[in-house]
């Protein structure tokens, strides 16, 4: 089996300081895309970590057939809907925050 291609949802401090570096250090994963509603933030983070794809909406990321899983690094109130939408598209989901408030 090849590497799991992960899309990071959210490019804020925790994504940059913890989550992206951890996924990049995992030999079984490839961070294949990032998504953030702030286009400039998504582009900067993709460039900083040498990630090929950046998106500005979850829908764009979920349409990417190369993405196997998503890591949700977003506020807790957004986890529930984002996780469900991702699973409906056949993506595996990583969320360390509560699934719902």
pLDDT tens by residue, 22-75 = 999 999 999 999 999 999 999 999 999 999 999 999 999 999 999 999 999 999
pLDDT of residue 99: 61
Give the pair of three-digit tokens for residue 10.
């959210």
pLDDT of residue 97: 73
Predicted confidence at residue 45, as pLDDT, reads 98
Helix ranges (DSSP H) in the chain: 13-14, 20-24, 39-48, 58-63, 76-88
Could you give the 3-state DSSP secondary structure of residue 92? Answer: strand
| pTM of the predicted structure, to 2 decimals | 0.92
| The pLDDT value given to residue 35 | 98
Residue 95 burial (CB count, 10 A): 19
């Amino acid at each position: 089996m090849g590497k799991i291609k992960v899309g990071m949802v959210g490019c804020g401090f925790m994504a940059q300081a913890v989550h992206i570096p951890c996924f990049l250090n995992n030999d079984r994963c490839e961070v294949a895309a990032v998504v953030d509603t702030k286009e400039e933030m998504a582009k900067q983070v993709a460039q900083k970590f040498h990630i090929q794809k950046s998106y500005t909406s979850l829908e764009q990321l979920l349409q990417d057939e190369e993405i196997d899983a998503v890591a949700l690094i977003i506020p807790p109130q957004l986890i529930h809907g984002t996780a469900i939408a991702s699973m409906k598209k056949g993506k595996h989901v990583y969320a360390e925050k509560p699934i719902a408030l």
